[in-house]
Structure 1
Amino acid sequence: MNLKFTTLVLFIVIAISFQIHGQELLSVKKTHFVDTVQTRKAEYSKIKEALKLYDKGLGYVGESLNLLLEAYAVNKSNAELNYNVGICYLVAGPKNKALPFLLAAESVNLDISNEIHFYIGLAYKYQNNFSKAIIHFKMNNELIAQNNYKEQKELIPIGEKHIQESRYGKMFMEDSTSFAIELLENDVNSSFDEFNPQVFRSDLYFSSRRVFEKEDARSLDDQKYFEKLFKAEKDENTWRNISREKNNLGANVNATLLCNFNENQFVFYNSKEGAGDLVLAEKVNGKWKTGKSLKFINKKDSRESSASISEAGNEIYFVSNRNDGFGKCDIYYCLLEDNGRWSKPINIGGDINTEYDEGDVYITRNGKTLYFSSKGHNSMGGYDIFKCEREEMGGWTSPVNLGMPINSAENDITYSEDAEGVFYFASDRSGGNGGYDIYQQKVSIPVIEETVIEEPIAELVEDTLEVEIPDLEQAKLVVPIAVPIIAVENELVELAEKPMKQELVEEDFVYRVQIAASRKEMDPAELFRRYKGGDVIEHLFVENWHKYTIGGFLTFKEAANYRDDCGVKDAFVVLFKGGYRLGIARRPVGGN
């Protein structure tokens, strides 16, 4: 990866955004956009401005998108403009809005870009339409291989990873848990990134890259605002009174509150130290003051982040991108030894760490359950949240994906729990306020029945006051009373990794031989003069061309042999997905 973000976890989770952002937006010809409609001239300047903003960095893509949408409002049929809007939605979100624009661009111009099917696959994936996502990722890989698109070859393994994730997505949709989650309200979330929720002493701390003051600076790496630490106070069952926490690190430093080391000291991620280190901090006179670096953890030229320590205080887990791991970022731990010193960092092992990145880590207060984010294992998209249980001998069980709705087709990160076991996490899924948003377990308020005894009813009988005592068993009145929940048992439904079946025949490819193409529809006599064979001729109307194909072959070699024998000198092989024409197939794949 070639980007530094605010914390390690966000450094790694935005890789997909940069992978898309590496794709340049397409130029839009003024003549094509205006198209004799003079009122469109003013809007064309917004397209030019949007392209410049897009090139400045991730922090400007949202502004670029807004300008493109203004231009789109006056011309919805321009292929390049539709494509650009779709790409910006994939980068800046909401990602699930990208699909109709990309489909519109491709319907107007099949050759809009060599990667169009890759991006359509992403757009379908972000709408949880995993079957169609798989089809388009396969289309993308097939066309790259068939047409030898050298610059796009790096997308083939990425496409295969998305295909695998989409298969898991299909499985998790069938096995979704009954857990309910909810978006935190009352200004906790904004249109910027919010992440890393941590509850300490009944207050919610979280990081945000929102603009807070006019003087707030942007990071040179991604042009997003530097992250700041905020606090929310609990008011009944909601978080309110959002305030910014002050520190002594300076305006252009990212500091993330991670866990409490002991009663008075907390662990922060500090981008000012080394490549990004873990440091101790404490709150003095209402201001966070940094202290010593955790030297037994931090390593020169590597980034350490996302620390978590159990209540017993005898082990600490953290994430590092040091070069002795299984992937780019691995989970490590240190143990408190009998002499009061911490052990050297130990890699947690290949059962949990994978060849892909592991993100943030969290161990429960009782030390029995470990949660972490990972792009490996059976992730359904980007980073999923997994858990492991402590075994009797001290090891950990195999990671279990928490499934839907906690995980999504996008990135789900920074899991934590409060003292009652209610969980929190951040996600950049569609449906939030924008960027990464913080979600929590939705806790229902139980209703209990309270027995209320009716007051005795007095009756006047002649001149004597007699009190009739009603039957108490008949006098019960049930009144629902809401009481705050005191403790929550966090029993997540485990979704174990399952072997996946291959896709159905509907996802296979077919090669056909194209024998003719004409601007005007050809009559049967013309076609017969060109092709005298007996195969059924299929007529397609694509991009204002009438195209005629024959045959249906599973391999390029079979189609090429038929092309050479069909009697049409300028015939060529075309790749289809069912009835969908993908493009010309110029060479075989794997010798077929």
Structure 2
Amino acid sequence: MKGLNKYIFVSVAILLLQNVQAQRPDPEDAKEHFKFGNYIDALIVYKKLMELDPKNAEYPYKAGLCILFTERDKSEAIKYLESADERKADPDVKFFLGKAYHYNLKLEEALESYNKYITSGEGTKRTEVDREMEMVKNAQKLILSPIDIEFENAGDKINSEFPDYYPFVTPNESFIVFTSRRKSSVREFDGYYPSAIYSSEVVAGEFIAAKKGSSMINSEYDDQAVGLSYNADKLYIYYDDIKEKGDIYEADIKAFKFKKKVKMGENVNSSGFESSATISADGNTLFFASHREGGLGGKDIYMTRKLPTGEWALPQNLGENINTTYDEDFPNLFYDGTTLYFSSKGHNSMGGFDYFKSTWNEDTNTWSKAENIGYPLNTTNDDVCISFTEDKRHAYISAWRKDSKGFQDIYKVTFNELDARQTIIKSKIVAAGSTEPIVDAMITVVNNRTQEEYNYTPNSKNGSFIITLIPGSYMVMIDAPGFSPKNENIFIKGKSDFVPFMTQEFIVNP
């Protein structure tokens, strides 16, 4: 607090001397801003200092870092860090130049810069560089198979010139809640205004102008929306008042009006750090992100079930198929109760946090291996917090894009490969000449156009399994011990011939 008070005092002095500073930028001001994470104001001063002293090596280095550390267009960082590299500004300059290339999808240049950094034998980021190179190589693979999506800026009623992020939408898109750091009374030490929770409802088919939530959920400090229930009757909030941070609060919602937030119990909040939460549609299972003792590394995702008393049970770590030695955050359980979306810096991330998904198998009581949702939804920047509509055809995210109004904006994403309608196929496998279902089998369904695979196993009790597919052509491959492999093409009709439900019996031969 002592250092923070000093910084606040210096910041006030800087504001009082603003006119003088504009004429004579002070390197100490830039250092002070940079030290406390105010990269916005530090960049302004460093740019002025570069004009006065264009041969200085430190100024372009720090300017480049300010850009890398801010959610904004990062392309400008390259020229500053290339200049700093030429002047050997710092032993870590090649590492951060590699990150600048990586952010801007100059992937070969990124690998080259990282390799030079390793060869130099210097620097403080040597334990990080191998993972950075892994993510560059992941990016090289992922961009070769882009998913077919479209981005639509949520518009002036939702977004502002300030950071707008962490969107959560109801299944039918009638209500959206999000976090914004738009202008308020006093800027914080990082150069932004305090975060606050905003929401909007749909009227006549469009979101109306977002409104800041009342003091029931917002304070003079930082409040962030970090989860929303299926029926929009509960909001999960991250609250940080400087003295106490890293806890999740819960607020009831009635008719889109927020009740007073309440801190969740000790089986959710620990002495560590909790950052986000999601709840199942039936309200009985809670998933949350936490950095606590016993985890696999950084922040992990945990699950807890509601006890008959209404309290939450001791949480369980979701394990290595989801959690890694890196950070996982923003779990969001889909309305089907089996698909978990989340963000992770691990697995095959192409840079920072990427969006992943995993599916719960009721028969084996396991989560499937995390699957990267794909580029360009995922980028080389941090991709955190995704909220889907009920048909999975649309999702809401936050990102900086070329049409953003300032920093991060909220976007609606359309998955073009997903028809708005899906056919549910109730299936079973039987042996030729028999009616008894086979329960020991592995079913793989391949989209004949995209080559995407879906895996299924029959229910261990009745042998049935449910396949959900969008219109298109598919190959069904069945591997059942004691029977010959079975390959069968099926066609799911679309447009006016679409049928929502069908049954399919697959016959195998010895």
> Normalization by structure 2: what TM-score?
0.70
Q: Distance in 2 between matches of 1:261 and 1:294?
A: 19
Residue 83 of structure 1 aligns to a residue in which SS?
Answer: helix
Name the counterpart of 1:115.
92
Name the counterpart of 2:210.
242
Match of 2:378 among 399, 407, 420: 407
Match of 1:439 among 401, 411, 427: 411
Name the counterpart of 1:198.
168
Q: Distance in 1 between matches of 2:381 and 2:451?
A: 20
Q: Distance in 1 between matches of 2:62 and 2:270?
A: 41
1:130 aligns with 2:107: yes
Partner amino acid for 2:404? G
Q: Answer whether contact 2:39 2:191 (CA < 8 A) is retained.
A: no
Cα distance change on mapping 1:323 and 1:65 into 2, 3 Å: same
Q: Distance in 1 between matches of 2:21 and 2:180?
A: 36
Residue 63 of structure 1 aligns to a residue in which SS?
Answer: helix
Mapping for residues 49-60 of structure 1, pairs under 5 Å: 51-52=30-31, 54-55=33-34, 57-58=36-37, 60=38
Match of 2:303 among 302, 325, 333: 333
Q: Distance in 2 between matches of 1:194 and 1:488?
A: 32
> Normalization by structure 1: what TM-score?
0.61
Match of 2:76 among 94, 97, 113: 97
Unaligned runs of 5+ in 1: 5-40, 447-484, 497-592
Partner amino acid for 2:341? Y
Q: Distance in 2 between matches of 1:113 and 1:409?
A: 24
Partner amino acid for 2:319? G
1:224 aligns with 2:192: yes
- Residue 62 (structure 1) shift: 1.6
Name the counterpart of 1:398.
369
Residue 101 of structure 1 aligns to a residue in which SS?
Answer: helix
- Residue 259 (structure 1) shift: 1.5
Q: Distance in 2 between matches of 1:235 and 1:263?
A: 17
Q: Answer whether contact 1:79 1:112 (CA < 8 A) is retained.
A: yes
Taking only the aligned residue pairs, the percentage that are identical comes to 25
Cα distance change on mapping 1:88 and 1:430 into 2, 3 Å: farther
Name the counterpart of 1:423.
395
Q: Distance in 1 between matches of 2:104 and 2:247?
A: 37
- Residue 335 (structure 1) shift: 2.2
Partner amino acid for 2:223? N
- Residue 119 (structure 1) shift: 1.6
- Residue 140 (structure 1) shift: 0.8
Q: Answer whether contact 1:205 1:257 (CA < 8 A) is retained.
A: no
Which is further off, 255-264 or 121-130?
255-264
Partner amino acid for 2:119? E
CA deviations on 1:66-85 (whole Å, 9 max, x unpaired) are 34434556776654443333
Name the counterpart of 1:161.
131
Cα distance change on mapping 1:52 and 1:191 into 2, 3 Å: farther
Residue 423 of structure 1 aligns to a residue in which SS?
Answer: strand
Q: Distance in 1 between matches of 2:295 and 2:111?
A: 31
Q: Distance in 2 between matches of 1:340 and 1:228?
A: 29
CA deviations on 1:230-280 (whole Å, 9 max, x unpaired) are 123336665441221112353124242522286644333333596433333
Name the counterpart of 1:61.
39
Cα distance change on mapping 1:43 and 1:229 into 2, 3 Å: closer
Q: Distance in 1 between matches of 2:21 and 2:222?
A: 41
1:363 aligns with 2:341: no
Name the counterpart of 2:462.
none
1:256 aligns with 2:225: yes
- Residue 339 (structure 1) shift: 7.2
1:178 aligns with 2:157: no
Aligned residues: 402
Q: Answer whether contact 2:226 2:330 (CA < 8 A) is retained.
A: no
Which is further off, 88-97 or 289-298?
289-298
- Residue 224 (structure 1) shift: 3.4
Cα distance change on mapping 1:141 and 1:43 into 2, 3 Å: farther
Q: Distance in 1 between matches of 2:221 and 2:210?
A: 21
Q: Distance in 2 between matches of 1:286 and 1:319?
A: 26
Q: Distance in 2 between matches of 1:106 and 1:180?
A: 37
Cα distance change on mapping 1:236 and 1:98 into 2, 3 Å: farther
Partner amino acid for 1:403? G
Q: Answer whether contact 1:279 1:290 (CA < 8 A) is retained.
A: no
Unaligned runs of 5+ in 2: 5-19, 424-446, 454-510
1:268 aligns with 2:237: yes
Q: Answer whether contact 1:83 1:105 (CA < 8 A) is retained.
A: yes
Q: Distance in 2 between matches of 1:431 and 1:75?
A: 33
Name the counterpart of 1:88.
66
Match of 1:46 among 21, 25, 46: 25
CA deviations on 1:429-463 (whole Å, 9 max, x unpaired) are 6763444332221378x9xxxxxxxxxxxxxxxxx
Cα distance change on mapping 1:300 and 1:178 into 2, 3 Å: closer
